[in-house]
Amino acid sequence: MDSATRRRAKDHIMSWGSGGRRPASVPEGSVATIVLADARHLDAVTASGLAGPGTLVFVPGTGEASGNTIPYGGTLAEAGADFALGEDFYLQTQDYASSAYMSVLGPTLIRVFGMEDFSAFLADADRALHQGGFPEFLITPAVLLADTAALGGTLDTDGPTLRLYVDAEGGISTSPSGSPLGTVGDDLATLATRYAHVNAATEAPCAVSLGAAVPEEARTAALQTRPFLGRYLAAVKALRALTAQDVGGLKVSGFGNRLAAAVTGDADLRDPSLPLVLWNPEQAYVVVGTRVFAVDHSFATAVEGLISGTTDHLPVHVQDQVRAFFTDRGLPLATPTTRIPAGAR
């Protein structure tokens, strides 16, 4: 496998694992990544048209990559197991509940395999909200959390056009922990229709990717009573990015702490798309999506007030300056006064 193919394969498999980011090279309408647990299903998957322009299909076995087919070793469906691309890239899958006690030695995908894992995830999120501490293992740069849309993250990307998993018996879902959408031989339109049908029957986003691991009633109840989970996952992602830049000791606004004592609103906790404010004694940071801005504490305080819906302590000219900052960078600042929080839609 040449270096360009290997880089592309790594990008696709990490996208497939998290369910939260679409590889840029894949046209809309094509399935980005398909993982087969058994190579005997390759012909049926190909014949059904699931592999379109830009799709990568990962097939267990040895040999060289051919076209859109990438051979791999190991598995992505078992806790403690490794997935291998050749001899120089290994991705370990780990269950959430054990991850706090494990050392991260390389790229790791943390997955919810059952209620014990789901309960541990919720406990960590609750602790972060009330006490401000985030799990160290979860903000390690080499770690990705799997199936984030089903854990309260955004559903903008996930679904059959992002990723598919075909188990050893030929069942198809979006992940190894997912509820069934069909079987080999089904086309993309059929899978997408079933995906939409399953999600239409629930009140919480993404009822598919954890459907075989967590009872839907329990998952829905947990997400509905925790409208901050999308914001929590966005904060985890931001902390991971800053940790990769050797920035530590950070607090996150709204999670056990506020930079300004005057901030009493919490509208930002219900909308993961709003900017995040993070800080340590030396520096403050504002994170919008994948963009990170290093700012002084006073500017961060003003951003915090605007996104939380607490502006009485902010002069109008300061609010205007903050809005102009974002507008000049192509990121018009949406605040609770100009949008409906995601959790309320």
The pLDDT assigned to 114 comes to 97
Report how far apart, in Å, the C-alpha atoms of 42 and of each of 68, 165, 173, 281, 303 are. 11, 12, 15, 54, 51
DSSP conformation class of 206: -
Separation CA 132–CA 181 (nearest Å): 38
Placement of tokens 């790791």 in the chain: 108
Q: Give burial (CB, 10 Å; 0-12/13-18/19+) of 345.
A: exposed
Distance of CA 138 to the CA centre of its chain: 12
> Is pLDDT of 343 > 60?
no
At which residue do the structure tokens 């963009």 appear? 291
**What does residue 40 show for φ and ψ, rounded to 5 degrees?**
-70, -10
Distance (Å, whole) CA 272 – CA 18: 17
pLDDT band at 163 (very low <50, low <70, confident <90, very high): very high
pLDDT of residue 227 exceeding 70: yes
How far is it, in rounded angstroms, from Cα 169 to Cα 36?
A: 10
List the strands of the sheet with 251-252, edge to edge.
251-252, 276-279, 284-288, 291-295
9-21 pLDDT, tens per residue?
A: 999 999 999 887 8
DSSP assignment of 127-196 equals: HHHHH----GGGG-TTEEES-GGGGTS--SS-STTTEEEE-TTSEEESSTTSPP-EETT--HHHHHHHHH
Render pLDDT for 174-226 as a digit per residue (tens, 0 to 9). 999 999 999 999 999 999 999 999 999 888 889 999 999 999 999 999 999 99
- Is the per-residue pLDDT at 338 higher than 70? no
Token pair recorded at residue 160: 């059959």
Cβ atoms within 10 Å of 1's Cβ, excluding its own = 17
The two structure tokens encoding residue 152: 């309260």
The region of weakest confidence among 259-268, 281-290, 331-340 is 331-340
Q: Are 20 and 65 in contact (CB under 8 A)?
A: no
Between β-strands 82-85 and 89-95, what pairing exists: parallel, antiparallel or unpaired? antiparallel
Positive or negative: CA dihedral 153, 158, 164, 170: positive
Q: How far apart (Å, rounded) are the C-alpha atoms in residues 280 and 276?
A: 14
Q: How far apart are CA 154 and CA 276, in angstroms?
A: 16
pLDDT tens digits along 77-115: 999 999 999 888 999 999 999 998 988 888 999 999 999
Long-range contacts, 278-285 (Cβ 8 Å, 24+): 278/235, 278/238, 278/239, 278/242, 278/250, 278/251, 278/252, 278/253, 279/250, 279/251, 279/253, 280/247, 280/248, 280/249, 280/250, 280/251, 281/249, 283/247, 284/259, 285/238, 285/242, 285/247, 285/250
In Å, the largest CA–CA distance within the chain is 66
